[in-house]
Amino acid sequence: MDSVVDPVVDPVTAAAPRPMRADARRNYERILVVAREAFLEHGASASLDDIARQAGVGPGTLYRHFPNRSALLDAVYRENVDAICAKAYELAQSEPPFEALAEWLRFLAVNMSAHQGLKEAVAEENLDLTVWREMYYAAGDTLLDRAREIGALRPGVEVPDLFKLIHGCTQGTENSPDPTAQIDRILPIILDGLRAQPR
């Protein structure tokens, strides 16, 4: 993530961006760090009061930033989406097309594997992920388009296909003692299927 301080938008009301004071932003960021771990461990039932206490703020401070559980969970999920999308655009600028796609898919798979608890919490809370899905798809399309342009991608591959493949990979390795090692074993097989075959 870059270090530019952007205005924070309320994830529920989507009000106009408003700059935060430095202390308010520190509180906001501490809450998100603690909340991510709490949701990973306890799912959507994580105690908001416990999150506030561990973040070193009062419940009132937490609720000023996040008026309800859905708002907090949405903000945590959005941070993860932002990181995945930022990685895609970074790779698009720095790596050859197919290598960029391959590296992003590994990043995506490892991230999804590490955040299974967050995914389950989002499902429990029944959040609307339409906006975040569109962000994912736009980032993935950027990499697919580059690979298509040089003829490195097999015909007919679309972003939803990528997510289904990576979802299957992470689901199939989640009970492994070392999920990342298993991802590194399976992903090259997926990449071989995505690569354009010589005529």
Q: Mutual orientation of helices 130-149 and 97-114 as an angle, nearest 10°? A: 150
**Percent of the chain whose predicted confidence (pLDDT) is above 90:** 72
What domains can be seen in the chain, in order of their start residue? 22-194 (1.10.357.10)
Residue 112 sits at φ, ψ, to 5 deg, of -65, -40
* Average pLDDT across the chain, whole number: 88
Give residue-wise pLDDT tens across range 86-102: 999 999 999 999 999 99
Give residue-wise pLDDT tens across range 188-197: 999 999 999 8
How many residues are given for the chain? Answer: 199
Give residue-wise pLDDT tens across range 17-62: 467 788 888 999 999 999 999 999 998 899 999 999 999 999 999 9
Phi-psi label, residue 127: left if phi above 0, alpha if psi -120 to 50, beta otherwise: beta
Q: What is the pTM of this model?
A: 0.83
Calpha distance 93→105 (Å, rounded): 16
Calpha distance 87→34 (Å, rounded): 23
